């Protein structure tokens, strides 16, 4: 697994209120944002705001409150579709828990999730619309 | 507040086990890591592993379980010491909750914390040992 964080996603209760808060802080949304998710480009990575319930659902976890889901995911984007399953297998071999096996994602990519030893959730994702740069950077417009 | 994430810190139950897990994944620690914290440079930002209890204590929150503390902090590093109080004030004006006012940190920097609308914790930090680059990048060795 290469050493990078491509995306930090914060689960939020009220997406409109939350994106307005970050805008008031001076943050500007990427043009790839849409009604259901707000993206903020931060150089070679990005921050996203996404409804807490849909974020939990994306991981496959039942959001039974903060003990079940801490409301944050990290994404590690990969260069090729097949890298998703390979990185998930590598993580499991290192002691991670497989949370969601590699599969096509509703947004047109391919992804899966693992949890580290403390349950911190990592999405491993192939995004065909935003290819990584030579050093693995994930640059949103 | 400029648009960047300088550091993602994951609170962990067993730092030795956790740093060994990330090493097994192929991640290599920065030379600024020490016994109590593991840093992994990721281009212009970094990932850190820190004991969950000490991470909660650093924010000033009592770690009364996952409902009180979700185990993750984001840091936004600033260029000047006085920027810490200024960014915290800006966040509060935008609707954030002040969690820890600007103050000197035990590691020799100056910092404070705010919580966004969902309680996601942001540290605002001035680190005199790792100045930001021209575009705000936080590059650990």
pLDDT tens digits, B113-123: 999 999 999 99
Query: What is the number of other CB atoms lying within 10 angstroms of the CB of residue A99?
Result: 18
pLDDT tens digits, B86-111: 999 999 999 999 999 999 999 999 99
For chain A, domains (ranges, CATH) are 7-126 (3.10.180.10)
pLDDT tens digits, A2-30: 999 999 999 999 999 999 999 999 999 99
Kindly list the residues from chain A whose CB atom is less than 8 angstroms away from the CB atom of residue B94: 21, 24-25
Q: By C-alpha distance, which of B79, B12, B80 is closest to B47?
A: B12
- Taking the C-alpha atoms of residue A42 and residue B4, their distance in angstroms, rounded to an integer, is 5
Helix (H, G, I), strand (E, B) or coil at A92: helix
- Taking the C-alpha atoms of residue A12 and residue A22, their distance in angstroms, rounded to an integer, is 12
Whole-number percent of chain B with pLDDT over 70: 100
Of all residues in chain A, the one with the smallest CA distance to B115 is A21
Q: Name which of A70, A96, A137 is nearest B43 (Cβ-Cβ).
A: A137
Q: The complex's ipTM?
A: 0.96
Query: Across residues B62-79, what is the average pLDDT?
Result: 91
Of all residues in chain A, the one with the smallest CA distance to B50 is A118
Q: Name which of A52, A67, A95 is nearest B21 (Cβ-Cβ).
A: A95
Contact residues for B107 (Cβ-Cβ < 8 A; gap 6+): none
pTM: 0.96
Instruction: Compute the mean pLDDT over every residue in chain A, rounded to the nearest whole number.
Output: 96
Residue A67 has pLDDT above 90, yes or no: no
Residue B67 has pLDDT above 90, yes or no: no
Kindly list the residues from chain A whose CB atom is less than 8 angstroms away from the CB atom of residue B120: 10, 71-72
pLDDT tens digits, A104-130: 999 999 999 999 999 999 999 999 999
> Max Cα separation, chain A?
43
């Amino acid at each position: 697994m290469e050493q990078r964080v491509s995306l930090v996603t914060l689960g939020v209760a009220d997406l409109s209120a939350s994106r307005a808060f970050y805008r008031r802080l001076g943050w500007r949304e990427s043009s790839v944002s849409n009604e259901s998710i707000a993206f903020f480009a931060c150089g070679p990575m990005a921050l996203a705001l996404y409804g807490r319930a849909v974020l939990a659902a994306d991981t496959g976890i039942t959001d039974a409150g903060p003990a079940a889901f801490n409301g944050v995911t990290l994404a590690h984007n990969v260069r090729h579709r097949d890298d998703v399953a390979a990185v998930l297998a590598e993580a499991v071999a290192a002691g991670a828990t497989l949370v969601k096996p590699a599969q096509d994602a509703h947004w047109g990519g391919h992804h899966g999730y693992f949890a580290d030893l403390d349950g911190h959730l990592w999405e491993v994702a192939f995004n065909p619309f935003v290819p990584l740069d030579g050093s693995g950077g994930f640059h949103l417009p």
